[in-house]
């Protein structure tokens, strides 16, 4: 059914005038949400559905909940920005969006149900709210990791962006499930207010609950309720994602010991402080960091290294406010900054880069070709340095003008260029 709808919509988009499409788009999305849920037999009704939303940390928190549920013995599925997984069967998300439309979520939930799954973890974005993709998810639980300034052009204002997140919280409140759990960040005013939502349990989480928090370049540790947790992932900010996952699973009856087992065995999350190792004498990191806060957190995770930083600015034609901030943060934190192309869409990539450079005291190196920029950064690295490539994470394409897409993987390109560099240096010696 999903493929049939996909083909039909592609045909209709070619023959229906755009003004007509705009007029009927809201009705179309609502009707499609119902029809697709109906066609797959409303699969969410027979699954325990855990939603994850927030500006940052959604994918990592989703992976953590997925790992804990599996450690608890549940047969689980995962639908995230990074991948689609049913137990050990996993494939990368190549759609360049988190929660796909046209009934994709309903089709995937049906597949998970048919595979014997009892639980599913789904990332839910503010973008999906605009197209009613959150309808008929029938949430049992929801984590709100945080809210930061983001997607302003798309929603019209920060207040409207917060409102879109509130809609997701209301989706939980209106869910037909009898037992509904909300876990929301209590350290941020906007997400703290969500705790007044009508849920069976509304649980806040706060950095103050993390005792003896420490982090190195590959691990994060903390104590919660007397239990020491050790995460195989860098960045103290990931302790907050873990705390949210632990609290949600705890509300569903998962013992802390089981959460400990799940998180200890957690696989490295692709594109999120991902180490790319090829025998080099410095570290190379790929990360999604796409907001000023997340960029600062990434750089702060490597305080004792000389940093060579490669970055662009996520999404041409949107969130122009953050461009000078991102440039300023990189200028202050990094020994060397290389500005490069990212996802310009229909905007001139040089205009984006110039806006970032405008707030920098030092003149950055500008290399529009992203592979060339990564290559230059790796060649400039010395023993003990950190090369940090941010902005795309696991994004599978560089998005260009008129809908063009260039297949891409930051991690693969870094690995290829490291191997090439190793070959060149070996040959020179």
State both tokens at 419: 């191997």
Nearest to residue 345, comparing CAs of 404, 396, 409, 390?
A: 404
Measured distance CA(182)–CA(85) in Å, rounded: 24
What local confidence, expressed as pLDDT, does residue 197 receive? 95
Select the CATH number that applies to the domain covering 33-264 from these four: 3.90.226.10, 3.40.1190.10, 3.90.79.10, 3.90.76.10.
Answer: 3.40.1190.10
Rounded CA separation 329/135 (Å): 38
Residues 6+ apart with CB under 8 A from 187: 206, 207
What's the N-to-C CA distance of the chain in angstroms?
Answer: 59
- Specify whether the CB–CB gap between 323 and 85 falls below 8 A: no
Angle at 63 between CA 58 and CA 69, to 5 degrees: 125
Contact 192, 185 (CB under 8 A): yes
Three-state SS for 45?
helix
For residues 86-121, one letter each, b for 16 or more C-beta atoms within 10 angstroms of the residue's C-beta and e for the rest, the string is bbeeeeebeeeebbbbbbbbbbbbbbbbeeebebbb
User: Tokens 């290399």, residue?
Assistant: 367
**DSSP per residue over 113-176, as a string?**
HHTT-SEEEEE--HHHHHTTTTTT---SEEEE----S--HHHHSSHHHHHHHHHHHHHHHHT-S
Q: What is the pTM of this model?
A: 0.90
The pairing of strands 141-144 and 181-185 is parallel
- pLDDT for 323: 95
pLDDT at 55: 92
Q: Quick one: tokens of 337?
A: 């900054």
Residue written as token pair 């917060």: 162
Q: Kindly list the averaged pLDDT for each block of 10 residues, start to end, along the chain of length 429.
A: 58 58 68 90 97 95 98 98 96 86 89 98 90 91 92 82 93 96 96 96 97 94 97 93 98 98 94 95 96 94 96 86 96 98 94 95 97 98 97 94 94 97 70
Superfamily covering domain 274-428: Mur ligase, C-terminal domain (3.90.190.20)
> Kind and range of the H or E element at 280?
none
pLDDT score recorded for residue 7? 62
DSSP label at 182? E
Mutual angle of helices 256-264 and 237-251, in 10-degree steps: 140
Nearest alpha-carbon partner for 389 in 266, 290, 241, 304: 290
Which runs of E-coded beta strand occur in 14-95?
48-53, 76-79, 83-86, 89-92
Q: Which of 56, 59, 82, 79 has its CA nearest to residue 290?
A: 56
Residue spans in the chain of domains classed CATH 3.40.1190.10: 33-264
Q: For CATH 3.90.190.20, list the domain ranges present in the chain.
A: 274-428
Q: What angle do CA 157, 121, 218 make, to 5 degrees?
A: 85
């Amino acid at each position: 059914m999903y493929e049939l709808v996909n083909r039909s919509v592609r045909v209709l988009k070619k023959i229906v005038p755009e003004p007509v499409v705009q007029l009927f788009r809201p009705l179309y999305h609502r009707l499609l949400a119902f029809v697709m849920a109906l066609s797959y037999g409303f699969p969410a009704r027979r699954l325990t559905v855990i939603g994850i939303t927030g500006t940052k940390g959604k994918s990592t928190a989703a992976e953590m909940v997925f790992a804990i549920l599996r450690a608890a013995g549940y047969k689980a599925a995962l639908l995230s920005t990074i991948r689609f997984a049913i137990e050990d069967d996993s494939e990368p998300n190549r759609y360049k969006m988190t929660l796909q439309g046209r009934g994709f979520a309903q089709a995937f939930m049906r597949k998970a149900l048919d595979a014997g799954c009892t639980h599913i973890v789904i990332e839910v974005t503010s973008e999906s709210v605009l197209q009613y993709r959150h309808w008929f998810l029938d949430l049992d639980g929801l984590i709100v990791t945080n809210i930061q300034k983001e997607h302003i052009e798309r929603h019209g204002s920060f207040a409207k962006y917060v409102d879109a997140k509130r809609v997701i919280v209301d989706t939980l409140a209106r869910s037909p499930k009898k037992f509904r759990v909300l876990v929301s960040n209590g350290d941020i005013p906007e997400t703290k207010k969500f705790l007044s939502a009508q849920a069976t349990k509304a649980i806040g989480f706060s950095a103050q609950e993390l005792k003896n928090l420490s982090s190195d370049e590959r691990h994060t540790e903390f104590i919660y309720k007397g239990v020491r947790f050790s995460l195989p992932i860098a960045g103290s900010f990931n302790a907050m994602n873990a705390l949210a996952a632990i609290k949600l699973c705890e509300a569903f009856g998962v013992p802390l010991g089981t959460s400990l087992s799940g998180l200890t065995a957690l696989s490295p999350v692709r594109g999120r402080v991902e180490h790319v190792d090829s025998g080099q004498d410095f570290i190379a990191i790929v990360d999604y960091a796409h907001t000023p806060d997340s960029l600062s957190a990434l750089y702060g995770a490597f305080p004792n290294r000389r940093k060579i930083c490669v970055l662009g600015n996520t999404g041409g034609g949107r969130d122009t406010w953050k461009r000078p901030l991102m440039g300023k943060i990189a200028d202050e934190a990094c020994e060397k900054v290389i500005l490069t192309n990212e996802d310009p869409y229909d905007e001139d990539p040089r205009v984006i880069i110039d806006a970032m450079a405008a707030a920098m005291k030092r003149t950055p190196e500008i290399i529009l070709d992203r592979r060339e920029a990564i290559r230059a950064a790796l060649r400039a690295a010395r023993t003990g340095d950190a090369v940090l490539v941010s902005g795309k994470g696991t994004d599978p394409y560089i998005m260009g003008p008129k809908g063009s897409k260039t297949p891409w993987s930051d991690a693969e390109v870094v690995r290829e260029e490291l191997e090439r560099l190793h070959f060149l240096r070996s040959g020179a010696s």
